[in-house]
């Protein structure tokens, strides 16, 4: 990512260590600064101490995340596509989604001169 702004920090909250590790590796491959939390206590601490822009988690943990934070959430399971032989992971779509929700939002300023 030379010449570009560094990718925003991402918090991965997946209790399964293997899943958390794999998600982190995929995100790091795109240059994201990845932090991980595997328990609810770790998630609470991470949200207090880290300045992340987005949280990556799984379907069953979205409620816990929403209770503690209003940061954008990406459900990694939405990018696992069923297949006859095995599940396929849409890596490109996942990385694009994380990048999109992590980027600062541009808000249009409305200047109404008639007020």
pTM over 0.85: no
pLDDT (tens digit, 9 = 90+) per residue, 67-114? 999 999 999 999 998 876 777 899 999 999 999 998 876 554 444 444
Rounded Cα–Cα distance for residues 39 and 65 (Å): 11
* Residue 72, Cβ density class (10 Å: 0-12 exposed, 13-18 middle, ≥19 buried): middle
pLDDT (tens digit, 9 = 90+) per residue, 44-62? 999 999 889 999 999 999 9
- Are the C-beta atoms of 15 and 39 separated by less than 8 Å? yes
* Relative orientation angle of helices 91-102 and 17-29, to the nearest 10 degrees: 80
Rounded Cα–Cα distance for residues 46 and 6 (Å): 20
């Amino acid at each position: 990512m030379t010449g570009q702004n560094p990718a925003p920090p991402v918090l991965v909250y997946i209790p399964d260590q293997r899943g958390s590790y794999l998600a982190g590796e995929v995100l790091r491959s795109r240059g994201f600064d990845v932090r991980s939390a595997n328990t609810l206590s770790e998630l609470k601490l991470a949200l207090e101490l880290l300045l992340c822009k987005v949280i990556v988690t799984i379907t069953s943990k979205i409620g816990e995340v929403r209770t503690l934070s209003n940061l954008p959430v990406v459900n990694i399971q939405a990018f696992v596509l069923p297949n006859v032989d095995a599940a396929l992971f849409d890596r490109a779509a996942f990385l694009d989604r994380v990048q999109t929700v992590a980027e600062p939002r541009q808000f249009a300023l409305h200047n109404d001169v008639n007020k």
